[in-house]
Structure 1
Amino acid sequence: MGRRIDYYDDPNAPKANSLVPSVNVVVENDKGEILMIRRTDNDNWALPGGAIDLGESITQAAIRETKEETGIDVEITGLVGIYSDPKHLIHYTSNDEVRQEFSILLKGSYVGGEPTPSDESNEVSWVCPESFFELKLDRSMRLRLEDFLAKRERVVIK
């Protein structure tokens, strides 16, 4: 399996060769805990999510990716933000793809299911917000969590 390497404003980073719309979902349970995964490709903790496939909507991709990576069924309830910072590059070593960030962060609520690891997640856990920043997180994921926790009235566009 290849690795995922995130770069931010790094002059030594490889040049972007793709732009792929993707989604992340911040799912809260009734205790206010957030659904997180520990990724298999870089061992970082992250919100569930992934690329939007041809033929599916943003909402469909968010529901599918969350289920695939976590075993949890969700309902999409809102939009937190859109992240398209060209300084953030994601290198997938398995095929040498280097993506420029383009991610839509949605809010979701727990519908059912049990946290279950997958090929893309070593661990799946409900995490209390106070514990987020003790986890190994990429800068981009930390930013998304901070934006969600700020409970802004307007959508974040970065």
Structure 2
Amino acid sequence: MLVLLLASIHYHKAEYAPQRIHSVYVQSANAFEEVDEFVMECGEQYSLDLIRVPGPMKAAFEKFLSARPQIKAIMVGTRRTDPNGAGLGDFDETDGGWPRFMRIQPVIEWQYEEVWFFLREVGIKYCVLYDLGYTSLGGTTDTFKNPALRVGEEYLPAHELEDGTKERMGRA
């Protein structure tokens, strides 16, 4: 999504583009070291104004928004096939009980296969865990290699998953 945002800013020659994009990393209580490293590398590579906040998600967004009260909208990677994604649109305000902001969901209609096509076609770096058989990342206690990618004792990379509806088979 970051690459989509940067491309849009460049395409529209946004004269008011931020010097650094405000970003939040909601860190799992049992985060994979590889995920932490990848997020920090992206923060440096793209010169993000990155705030790292431990989850859970709702409390993390409350902390992020209290540190950045000017933020009124946040891009999120929710897709229609994600849990709670079925009833969402391109733009949705948060539900009751959540801190108030507009969720912008630019990939809401993308299918699993389309995400991987985009990443690989454009050559966007992604977390190394996806090459090890993971297809959906949470924390170390609720995320496992996807059994649909198992071939003998080995696992295929995530982009080889043939049925996108099995993306979350590696999540508890």
| TM-score for the superposition, normalised by structure 2 | 0.29
Higher RCO (Cα < 8 Å, 6 or more apart): 1
| TM-score for the superposition, normalised by structure 1 | 0.30
| Higher percent of residues as helix | 2
| Higher percent of residues as strand | 1
